[in-house]
Structure 1
Amino acid sequence: SLQLTLSTSSNLSSEPSAANRSRGSRCEPGEYRSARRCCQLCPAGHYVRKPCSSPHTRSECKACYPGNYTGHANSLRSCLLCTTCREDQEEVSNCTSTQDRKCQCKTGEFYCDSEHCLEGCHPCTSCPGATLHTCNATRDTEC
């Protein structure tokens, strides 16, 4: 019966509500949808502790705890866990609240010549004689 009441009301009162509905259906850049409202994203290094209570306002954001991060403005309900370097890797850059830890194969011991090295690092080849190229994180030894 609520729809019937809206459809029988005058054009003057139904047009603004229709306009508000259509405008509210799509959030602005930098916003996300939560419970039929558009809330502003939390900045990198933070997560959404509590979504906004009125449209187009900032959510309650909380800083990531050490060992966690968010790299971009977001609507996440928790931060992401920082990557842990494997035994055959070394840390290239530390994890911060806005950037994940970066790892590479241990220089001079292991290498990986593919982009993500999900299969792991390979042990460097040792040369019995002269070395043309010394093993590094992304390239094996050339004898």
Structure 2
Amino acid sequence: MDWIHGLVNGIGQVYFQDRLWSGILILFGVFWADWKLGLYAVIGSFVALLTAYGLGAEVSLLNSGLYGFNAVLTILAVGAVFSTKNILVPVTGIIASVLTVLITAGVDTWLVPYGLPTLTMPFVLCTWLFLAARKVLPRI
């Protein structure tokens, strides 16, 4: 397991880049846009790596960042873009990232036998779930 490549490639895969240097440049650009977004991107990719590794995901998929990019998108949406200035928003972003990895594994299992890619379906499903939960429970 190459943790640095997995972390950076998880961020680079948001833009379909699977090389270390392109991921570093994308991460630099995200930090340049807003340091908080860059921090969220790193946390989301790291949480996805830990979750997928803990669940026994294939190491080649972890190194290429294929579990990280949906988690990065989800933590940016739930934790940063749609924030309500609540102290629990970063925590909900991290929980959403963990849930995105679980949804990714489930959707992969469901679609791979048909030859269909998962793409960003886990990000969309998890973000919808957390946005709907925020409407019902506004304190999260």
TM-score band (shorter)? under 0.3
Structure having greater relative contact order (Cα 8 Å, sep ≥ 6): 2
Q: Output the TM-score relative to the length of structure 1.
A: 0.20
Report which of the two has the higher share of helix.
2
